[in-house]
Chain A
Amino acid sequence: MNKECVAMLLAGGQGTRLKSLTKQIAKPAVYFGGKYRIIDFPLSNCTNSGIDTVGVLTQYEPLILNDYIGIGSSWDLDRKYGGVSVLPPYMQSEGGGWYTGTANAIYRNIKFLNQYNPEHVLVLSGDHIYKMDYGKMLDYHKETGADATISVIQVPWEEASRFGLMNTDGEGVITEFDEKPPNPRSNLASMGVYIFRWDVLKQYLIEDNQNGESSNDFGKDIIPALLNDYRKLMAYKFEGYWKDVGTVDSLWEANMDLLKEEPELNLNDYSWRIYSKNPNQPAQYIAQSAKVSNSLINEGCRIYGTVDTSILFYGVRTEEGSLVKDSVIMPNVKIGKNATIHRAIISEGTVIEDGAVIGDPSPESEITLIAREGTVMAKSYMHETIK
C-alpha cells in the first residue's frame, strides 16, 4: 500500500542565531507561545492536513527533541502504518557520517521513503510559526502537474533580500530562484515548504550526491538543478501568518504577535488546533495581589505580581511586587518578590531572586536573554546573554 504524500521534516539544525537558547536543544524544540515548541506547528499542520506519515530528520542535540516527539501521540501521529519516525544519521557497511546538508539528509533516507513508495514528498523545516493546509498545496501541485511546488509568501520589499526569492511568470511558474539577493526582483519568499514528485526528487538527490561540488542543500543545489533542466516548478502562494523565528528578536516578536487583540495566528481555532505535549498541571491561579493584562498564561502558573504584555509558560510563579513586562517566561521559572523583568526571554527553570532587575525597559532596546537552564539571578542584567 503506498502513501500519496509523505512529509520529511528537517529538524537537525542548530539555529545558532538563537544564541544560547539552542545551546542544549535543537531549534525545532525551542519553546514558543506559552505552551508549544516550534515543531508543534509543522507537526500539527501535518495532522490537520491529513498527512499521517512524517519522517523527522534529527542531528543536532536530539535528546529533548526525541523525548518530546516520542511515538507522535501528542499530534495523533502514532499510527500502525506510517506515523512519525525519527531519522538520525546512521552508519552503514560502507561507512557513514553526519548529514552534510538538507538534501543529503533526505538522500540518506531514500530507503525510508521507498517503504511507503509515495507519489509526492513534502519537505518541511522546523523553523517557522504558521498554520497551513498542506493538502491544498498538494492539490495545486497535482493540478498543475508540477515536478516541484514551492510555497511562497509575499514579504515587504525592504525585507525581501533576507529571503530566498522566486521570480515567476504570470501563471505562477517559477523562472528563477535568487537566494538572498542584494537587489531583489521579486518579493515572493520561499517558506521552506516544498512538494516534489518523488520519482523526480529521487533522481535529483542521487545525482546531487554524485556531484562532489555540491553542498547538498535544497535551496542552493536541488532547486537550481531542477530549474536548469527546465523542470516544471510552481510557486504556491500562501496567505496568512508565517514567521521565521530564527533569531532572538524574531522569536520575541512572534511571541508578542500573539498578544494583539485579534492576532493573525489564532491559537483558539478549534478547527485547526496546534497540538503539543501536555505537562498535566493544575489550573493557573491569579492571586488577589496580582494584576494581569494583555498576556498569555499557561496552566500550573501562580501569579502574585504584575504581568503585562507577556507570555508565561507552564509552572511559572511570580511573587508579590514583581513586574514582568514585554517578556517571554519559559516553563518553571520562579520570580521573586519585587523583581522586575523588561523585554526579556527567560529560559526554563531560571530562578530570579527577590529584587533582581532584568532587562532594559526602553523601547527598541535589545532583548535580554537569560538562557542557561536553572540560573539563579540575584542582581541586575541588561543587554547581556548569560551563557
Chain B
Amino acid sequence: MDRIAGIINLDHEQDVLDELTYFRCSAAVPFAGRYRMIDFAISNMANSRIDSVAVFARRKYRSLMDHLEQGKYWDLDRKRGGLFILPPDWNDPTDISKGDLQHFHNNIDFITRTLADYVVVTGTQNICNINYENVLREHKESGADVTVVYKKVEELYPEFRRSHKLDIDENQRVTAIHNDQHNNNVYMDMYIIEKNYLYGLIEDCIAHGCSHFFLDGIKGRLPDINIHAYEYSGGHALINSVESYYRHSFNLLDESEHDRLFKEESPILTKVKNEAPSKYLESSEVKNSLVANGCVIGGDVEDSILFRGVKVEKGAVIRNSVIMQRCEIDSNAVLENVILDKDCRISNGRTLVGAPEKPFVLAKRNTM
C-alpha cells in the first residue's frame, strides 16, 4: 500500500478577503455555514487516507490553530504522524533558505521522518472534493516526476486571473505553465511528488537561492522534468477575493452544485461545536437558504447563509447575505447583500444594504 503525506502550504496565500482576513489568514475564513476554507484541504487528505499532515503557516494563524486543535476532527490526532501546525519559528544559524523554501528547509524532518513515499502539497483557496489516491494512481501510471492537478473551467471568472494555467499535450503531459488569460486549464495549486525526489528538489532550490518552490523547483525546470496533469472534474471554487467568496457562497444554494462539494462517501469534516438543532419560530419565513445548527430564527431569511448560532429576531429581514457564527440580528433590522463576520450585532431597526456585485462587509465583533 502506498502511503501519502500531506503539506498544506499557506505561504503564498495572501490575505485578500478584506475585512474577513483582517484578523485571520484566508485558510481560516468561515465558509458554507459551518466550515473554514482549510477544512476542504484537510478533509480531502483525511478521506485519501493521509494520516500525516503539515500546515506551513506564516501569518495570522491564531484562529487557524484554534480551529484545528490537535486534528481530532479529521482523525489526525495520531500517535505516529497526525497534524503538525508549523509556524515560522526557526533558529538554524546556517539557514540560507528564502521564501517558502524556509518552510521546506526548517521542517525537512516532517518529510524525512514520514513513512509515506509520496507527498501531496496543496493550498486552501481551491475548494474541492478530491481523492489523492486517484491522483497518485494516475501519477504512477504516467511515470511522471510530478503530477499537478488542474480544472478545465467553463468560464474564466476574474478570480482565475492570478492562477497559473497549463498547456497540456495529448498524453496529459504539461508543456508549459503560464498566465495566459485565455487558457481554461486552471492549475489548482496542488501537486503530488515522490518524497525523495521532493527532498532533492528542495536541496537544489536552496543551493541556488530560490524563493518559491513551485515556480523555481517545478515550473522553472520545464521541459527537463516530466510534469503530468491530472484533470479534476468535480465541484470547484477558487476563493481569493470577497467577490468570489460571495458568489461561491450562493452557488451552494443550488443543490447540484452543493452535492458536487459535499458527498456522503467523502465528507468534509470540521470542528464540532455541539450546537443544538436550529429552531424556526412560528414567525419565521426562511426561503432558499443554508442554515447551520444552533440558530434561532424568528424573522425572514431569503437566499442567504446562516452560520452556527445566529439569532434572527422576529421582524428582521435578511436577503442575499452571509451571516457568520453567533451574530445577532435584532427585530426590524434589514440586511441585504451583506457579509457579517462572527459575533456582529445589528440592533433594532438598522438597515445595511450592499450592492449585489459588491457586498457590504462588516468585520468581526462589530455592533451597529
Is B277 a contact of A275 with CB atoms below 8 Å?
no
CB atoms of A33 and B286 under 8 A apart: no
Asked whether, in the complex, the Cβ of B276 is within 8 Å of the Cβ of A285, the reply is no
Residues A298 and B268 in contact, CB atoms below 8 Å apart: no
Task: With both chains docked as a complex, state the minimum distance between the C-beta of B64 and any C-beta of chain A, in angstroms.
Answer: 20
Closest-by-CB residue of B relative to A291 is B285
Would you call A117 an interface residue if the criterion is a C-beta within 8 Å of the partner chain's C-beta atoms? no
Question: In the assembly, what is the distance between CA of A302 and CA of B288, in Å?
Answer: 10
The closest CB in chain A to the CB of B294 belongs to A268
- Interchain nearest-CB distance for A383 vs B (Å): 28
Q: Are B289 and A285 in contact (CB under 8 A)?
A: yes
- Which of A288, A294, A298, A313 has a CB less than 8 Å from the CB of B282? A294
Kindly report which residue of chain B lies nearest to residue A298, judged by CB atoms.
B277
A273 touches B287 (CB 8 A): no
Interface string of B261-296 (1 = CB under 8 A from A): 010000111101011111111111111111111101
Known: A278-B272, A293-B282, A294-B282. A285 touches B290 (CB 8 A): yes
Establish whether residues B280 and A297, one from each chain, have CB atoms under 8 Å apart when the complex forms: yes
- With A35-B276, A294-B282 in contact, is A299–B292 under 8 Å at CB? yes
> For the complex, is B255 an interface residue (Cβ under 8 Å from A)?
yes
Looking at A281, A282, A283, A295, the one whose CB has the most chain B CB atoms below 10 A away is: A283
Over the window 23-61 of chain B, the binary record of Cβ atoms lying under 8 Å from chain A Cβ atoms (1 yes, 0 no) is: 000000000111000000000000000000000000000
Report Cα–Cα, A261/B282, bound state, in Å. 9
Chain B residues positioned under 8 Å from A297 (CB to CB)? 277-278, 280, 291
Q: Are A285 and B269 in contact (CB under 8 A)?
A: no
A295→B309 CA distance, assembly (Å): 16
Contacts A281-B267, A282-B258, A302-B255 given; indicate if A288 touches B284 (C-beta within 8 A). no
A106 interface residue (CB < 8 Å to B): no
Report yes or no: B268 in contact with A282, Cβ–Cβ below 8 A. Answer: yes
- Residue-wise interface mask of A (244-268) relative to B, using a CB-CB cutoff of 8 A (1 in contact, 0 not): 0000000000000001010000011
**A292–B275 CA distance with the chains assembled, in angstroms:** 19
> B50: shortest Cβ distance to chain A, in Å?
18
B296: chain A residues at CB < 8 Å are 268
Pair B291/A284 contact, Cβ less than 8 Å: yes
Q: Is A122 an interface residue (CB 8 A)?
A: no
In angstroms, how far is the closest chain A Cβ from the Cβ of B347? 21
Q: Would you list which residues of chain B between 47 and 89 have a CB under 8 Å from chain A?
A: 72
A103 at interface by CB-CB < 8 Å: no
How many inter-chain residue pairs (CB < 8 Å) link A and B? 104
Interfacial chain A residues near B290, Cβ < 8 Å: 282-285
Query: Are A296 and B286 also in contact (CB < 8 A) when A282-B33, A282-B268 are?
Result: no
A299-B262 contact in complex given A282-B268, A283-B305, A293-B281, C-beta closer than 8 Å: no
1/0 per residue, CB under 8 A from A, across B306-317: the answer is 100100000000
- A83 to B: closest C-beta gap in Å: 15
A287, CB-defined interface residue at 8 Å: yes
Q: Are A280 and B284 in contact (CB under 8 A)?
A: no
Q: Is the CB of A294 within 8 A of B278?
A: no
Measured CA separation A274–B33 after assembly (Å):
21
**Pairwise interchain contact A286-B291, C-beta atoms closer than 8 A:** yes
Whole-angstrom distance between the alpha carbons of A295 and B286 in the complex? 12
A276 in contact (CB, < 8 A): yes
Q: State whether A292 and B255 are in contact (beta carbons under 8 Å apart), knowing that A282-B268, A297-B277 are contacts in the complex.
A: no
B352 in the interface (beta carbon within 8 A): no
Question: Smallest CB-CB separation from B254: which chain A residue?
Answer: A285
Give the contacting residue for B262; candidates A267, A268, A282; CB below 8 A.
A282
Contact of B34 among A73, A275, A282 (CB under 8 A): A282
Tell me, yes or no, whether B253 is within 8 Å of chain A by CB: yes
Report the minimum CB–CB distance from B320 to chain A (whole Å): 14
Pairwise interchain contact A267-B258, C-beta atoms closer than 8 A: no
Q: Which of B34, B258, B283, B309 contacts A299 (CB 8 A)?
A: B34
Complex CA distance for A46 and B285, rounded to whole angstroms: 38
A293–B284 contact, CB under 8 A?
A: yes
A126 at the B interface (CB under 8 A): no
Does the CB pair B277–A292 fall under 8 Å?
Answer: no
Residue of B nearest to A286 (CB): B286
Please give me the residue from chain A that is nearest to B267 by CB atom: A280
Q: Which 10 A-B pairs have the closest CB atoms?
A: A283-B33, A267-B276, A34-B277, A298-B277, A296-B277, A278-B272, A283-B292, A283-B290, A282-B262, A286-B286
7 more CB-based (< 8 A) A-B contacts, given A280-B269, A286-B288: A261-B281, A267-B277, A268-B276, A285-B290, A297-B277, A299-B277, A312-B277
A-B contact pairs, 30 of them (CB 8 A): A33-B277, A34-B276, A34-B277, A35-B277, A261-B281, A261-B282, A267-B277, A268-B276, A268-B279, A280-B269, A282-B32, A282-B34, A282-B268, A282-B290, A283-B33, A283-B34, A283-B290, A283-B293, A286-B286, A286-B287, A286-B288, A288-B287, A292-B280, A293-B284, A295-B280, A296-B280, A298-B277, A299-B293, A307-B280, A312-B277
Measured CB to CB, the residues of A under 8 A from B are 33-35, 73, 259, 261, 267-268, 273-276, 278, 280-288, 290-299, 302, 307, 311-313
